[in-house]
């Protein structure tokens, strides 16, 4: 799909962007891959990793700036939307800024992609958008709905929008594994609640889910990968089994268990061998055979949460992953 095409990724200097750019260049050999972000230092550091590769371009810009988006999207075929204000406490204490990026930024991107003739757009979402308990989740749910409805809003234009949703990305900046590694030497690993569970997905699996969405989408689907869960106490044991765990209490806006599909979405959710699809409820698109494909409707009371998951990651499995990726954890 991406061969001889032009791709743009917003927020492309983050953990996902680093993985997406490297993997997409290697597998698909696009003509041009544009990293659109607002942090010039991160762009400069990332540019050194791809020095001499004429396919990679860097474009300073903010999704809040619609005019800049129009310029950046000129001649672009495919867009990955990864830009977001995503740290839960930051969003709680800076709510207007979170809304400007996650909601207004999504609106700007949808308008710009339609007007500039982009073919397909995949937006990254989060488990926190399902039955949100914090401002970040609420803004991402709004963003998800905007991208789903963008397929109707686009009218006779040929731009299609879809969403991918996943949970805790192992080893990414600001996530639990690099945090535990950074504080283990203090002799205490702080656990918010010993009952807490989290989904586990690697950056590589996240990239592959985005590729899957681009190849499969008609428009309006929310893709949810089937991934394993872990208890947070087991994550701590995988990091350092000899360090004391201390319960410190749940932070503002934090959930005990992650949820990727709530019962309110069950009526429109279909199951596939490796993923689920939440189909759009508007325009009878949830009954569209092209969108359903070979999917099987889930039960009306279905929920996909990190505590009711059928698949669980073993401590030894995570230890092996940490050992294999120790030089990358928390660095991108």
CA-to-CA distance for 329 and 230, rounded, in angstroms? Answer: 18
Helix (H/G/I), strand (E/B), else coil: 262: coil
Domain-located, residue 299: yes
Residue 104 falls within a domain, yes or no? yes
71 assigned to some structural domain:
yes
CATH number (domain holding residue 299) = 3.40.50.720
- The question of whether 128 is a catalytic residue gets the answer yes
Residue ranges making up the domain that contains 51: 6-166+203-226+262-303
- pLDDT tens-digit readout, 281-295: 999 999 999 999 999
Average pLDDT for the chain: 94
Rounded distance between C-alpha atoms, residue 316 and residue 294, angstroms: 35
Global pTM value: 0.95
- Per-residue pLDDT for 331 more than 90? no
Asked if the structure places residue 240 within a domain, the reply is no
173 in a structural domain: no
The string of pLDDT tens digits covering residues 170-206 is 888 778 898 898 888 888 999 999 999 999 999 999 9
Total number of domains in the chain = 1
Nearest to 34, CA basis, from 13, 16, 49, 19: 13
- Summary count for the chain: helices (H), strands (E): 12, 16
**Exactly one of 42, 128, 140, 277 is catalytic; which is it?**
128
Quote the CA–CA distance of 329 and 43 in Å, as a whole number.
19
Residue positions counted in the chain = 332
Residue 33 lies in a domain: yes
Residue 218: inside a domain, yes or no?
yes
Rounded distance, CA 191 to CA 186, Å? 14
- Where are the alpha helices (H) located in the chain, listed in sequence order? 15-28, 40-49, 66-72, 88-93, 95-99, 105-115, 135-153, 176-183, 203-216, 232-239, 289-292, 315-324
Asked whether residue 103 is domain-assigned, the answer is yes
């Amino acid at each position: 799909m991406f061969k001889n095409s032009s791709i743009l990724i917003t927020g492309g200097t983050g953990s996902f962007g680093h993985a997406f750019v490297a993997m997409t260049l290697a597998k698909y050999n696009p003509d041009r891959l544009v990293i659109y972000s607002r942090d010039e230092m991160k762009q400069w550091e990332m540019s050194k990793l791809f020095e001499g590769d004429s396919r990679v371009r860097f474009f300073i810009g903010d999704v809040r700036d619609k005019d800049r988006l129009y310029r950046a999207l000129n001649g672009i075929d495919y867009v990955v939307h990864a830009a977001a204000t995503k740290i839960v406490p930051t969003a709680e204490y800076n709510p207007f800024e979170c809304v400007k990026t996650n909601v207004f930024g999504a609106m700007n991107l949808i308008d710009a992609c339609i007007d500039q003739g982009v073919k397909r757009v995949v937006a990254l979402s989060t488990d926190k958008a399902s039955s949100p308990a914090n401002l970040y989740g609420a803004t991402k749910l709004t963003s998800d709905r905007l991208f789903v409805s963008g397929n109707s809003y686009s009218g006779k234009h040929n731009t299609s929008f879809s969403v991918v949703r996943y949970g805790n990305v192992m080893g990414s900046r600001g996530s639990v594994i690099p945090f535990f590694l950074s504080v283990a030497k203090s002799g205490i690993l702080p656990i918010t609640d010993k009952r807490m569970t989290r989904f586990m997905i690697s950056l590589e699996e996240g990239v592959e889910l985005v590729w899957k969405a681009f190849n499969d989408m008609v428009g309006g689907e929310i893709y949810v990968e089937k991934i394993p869960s872990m208890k947070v106490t087991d994550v701590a044991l995988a990091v350092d089994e000899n360090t004391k765990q201390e319960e410190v209490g749940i932070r503002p806006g934090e959930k005990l268990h992650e949820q990727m599909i709530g019962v309110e979405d069950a009526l429109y959710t279909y199951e596939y061998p490796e993923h689920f699809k939440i189909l759009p409820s508007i325009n009878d698109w949830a009954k569209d055979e092209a969108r359903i494909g070979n999917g099987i409707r889930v039960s009306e009371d279905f929920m996909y949460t990190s505590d009711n998951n059928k698949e669980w990651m073993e401590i030894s499995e995570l230890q092996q992953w940490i050992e294999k990726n120790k030089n990358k954890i928390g660095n991108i």
